[in-house]
């Protein structure tokens, strides 16, 4: 099956430039001093007992008187028996209390030492880029909520460190639009060519124009993003779904190998193809935020692939008066609108050449560039698509084709995407009666089958 590019060529060529202290253990208490040792008590010396001398008696003369009573001899002197002396017991020394060996000082176990985390440096807000004057109308429109246009473009960040894969006709990588601000570094590189034509350059112009809107120095949304050419369409602007799928799979592998935040743009489409839908879904789910064009048939975008795939961001086109472009597809498969009519960007032929053309192919890269800004400002890939939709300006797109087409216009803001207000917590209602649910999607906007 062959793919047709989504752009309408427009005329006009132009040129552009504790430590905790350990508690000390109290000193051990000295045992009490022993009382003095008692000496044995001396036994008092008894006074010497001197025998009592019997009194001298007068000589006895016989008489005629009766015989006197016999004289009882005086008993020998009696030595008083000294009191018995009981030897004094040896002195009793009070037993000291049992001595407990002194324990070593007990150091309280400190809490486990956790490694000191490095100081947390607050993430600074993105630095606003210099305001660009004389900006092309497409980037001028997406940095403000309302008309009229200010003829300038100023946002926060430039998409540094982000890779944007342009799955298209290739990129003229040496074009001046793809230099860095100093002009010394080329931000575009060649990736792969799956067309089989062996011509590793953009020989059509469409891919270079798309790349210029995503990340051109003058005409781009994210002016420092890295751009990668993935050529899946030939010089005539068409190719096969097999080539498109091969290119998508290469992007998924390259992005995983490089490890940088990434987004991809597919400004192409054709008839419904489940294989293509699955390929872009897998790419998006791998972490490469994927943006696709809605198509230029002024019909329901749910009839085309990859526009109908719910996982990716599908983009419709508007004019500089905020009306849906007459060629833009519409319906519930469209997620957001962006400028797509009469958009100027880089072209092939020389390193300064530009061209002004129209199509949803031109609207889609505005959104891809907006995603690059978000990724460069720290929004993760899982939330980038929802953020880009939540930040969109509502109530501006006129003549949307059907009332079911979302009324959302891309907004990246003068100081970066505006945070959506915090939603009011939902009121808990009684559990509904169980029923078979309708098919739903990640963002709940449509079924992936038709």
| 378, β-bridge pairs | none
Paired tokens of 408: 């959302």
- Which one from 305, 361, 366, 385 is the annotated catalytic residue? 361
The half-sphere exposure of 58 on its side-chain side, counting CA atoms within 13 A, is 3
Paired tokens of 90: 């040896």
Positive or negative torsion for Cα 205, 206, 211, 213: positive
Q: Is 361 a catalytic residue?
A: yes
- Which one from 160, 202, 206, 364 is the annotated catalytic residue? 206
Q: In the block, which residue shows the tokens 């001046």?
A: 176
Paired tokens of 246: 């091969």
| 414, β-bridge pairs | 416
Rounded CA separation 139/132 (Å): 10
Task: DSSP for 52-99, please give it.
Answer: PPPPPPPPP---SSPPPPPPPPPPPPPPPPPPPPPPPPPPPPPPPPPP
Strands 313-318 and 288-293, sheet pairing = parallel
- Which one from 140, 168, 277, 322 is the annotated catalytic residue? 168
Rounded CA separation 353/334 (Å): 32
Q: Is 202 a catalytic residue?
A: no
Which residues carry out catalysis? 168, 206, 361
């Amino acid at each position: 099956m062959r793919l047709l590019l989504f752009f309408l060529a427009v005329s006009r060529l132009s040129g552009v430039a504790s430590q905790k202290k350990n508690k000390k253990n109290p000193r051990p208490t000295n045992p009490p001093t022993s009382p003095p040792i008692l000496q044995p008590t001396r036994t008092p010396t008894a006074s010497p007992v001197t025998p009592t001398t019997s009194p001298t008696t007068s000589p006895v003369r016989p008489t005629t008187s009766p015989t006197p009573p016999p004289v009882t001899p005086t008993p020998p002197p009696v030595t008083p028996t000294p009191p018995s002396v009981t030897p004094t017991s040896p002195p009793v020394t009070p037993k000291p209390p049992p001595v407990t060996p002194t324990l070593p000082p007990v150091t309280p176990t400190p809490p486990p030492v956790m490694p000191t985390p490095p100081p947390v440096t607050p993430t600074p807000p993105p630095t606003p880029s210099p305001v660009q004057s004389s900006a092309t109308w497409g980037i001028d429109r997406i940095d403000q909520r309302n008309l009229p246009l200010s003829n300038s473009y100023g946002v926060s960040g430039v998409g540094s460190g982000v890779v944007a894969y342009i799955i298209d006709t290739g990129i003229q990588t040496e074009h001046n639009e793809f230099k860095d601000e100093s002009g010394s570094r080329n931000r575009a590189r060649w990736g792969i060519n799956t067309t089989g034509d062996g011509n590793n350059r953009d020989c059509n112009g469409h891919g270079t124009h798309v790349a210029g809107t995503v990340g051109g120095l003058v005409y781009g949304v994210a002016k420092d993003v890295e751009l990668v050419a993935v050529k899946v369409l030939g010089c005539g602007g068409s190719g096969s779904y097999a080539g498109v799928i091969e290119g998508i799979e290469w992007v998924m592998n390259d992005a995983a190998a490089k490890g940088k935040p990434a987004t991809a743009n597919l400004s192409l489409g054709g008839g419904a193809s489940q294989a293509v839908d699955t390929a872009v879904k897998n790419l998006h789910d791998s972490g490469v935020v994927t943006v696709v064009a809605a198509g230029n048939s002024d019909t329901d975008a749910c009839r085309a692939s990859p526009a109908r795939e719910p996982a990716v961001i599908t983009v419709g086109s508007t004019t500089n008066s905020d009306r849906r472009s007459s060629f833009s597809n519409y319906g519930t498969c469209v997620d957001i609108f962006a400028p797509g009519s009469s958009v100027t960007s880089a072209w092939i032929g020389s390193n300064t050449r530009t061209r002004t053309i129209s199509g949803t192919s031109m609207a889609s890269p505005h959104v891809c560039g907006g995603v690059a800004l978000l990724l460069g400002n720290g929004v993760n890939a899982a939330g980038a698509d929802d953020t880009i939709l939540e930040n969109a300006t509502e109530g501006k797109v006129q003549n949307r084709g059907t009332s079911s087409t979302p009324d959302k216009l891309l907004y990246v803001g003068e100081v970066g995407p505006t945070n959506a207000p915090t939603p009011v917590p939902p009121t808990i209602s009684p559990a509904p009666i169980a029923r078979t649910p309708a098919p739903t999607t990640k963002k709940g906007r449509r079924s992936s089958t038709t």
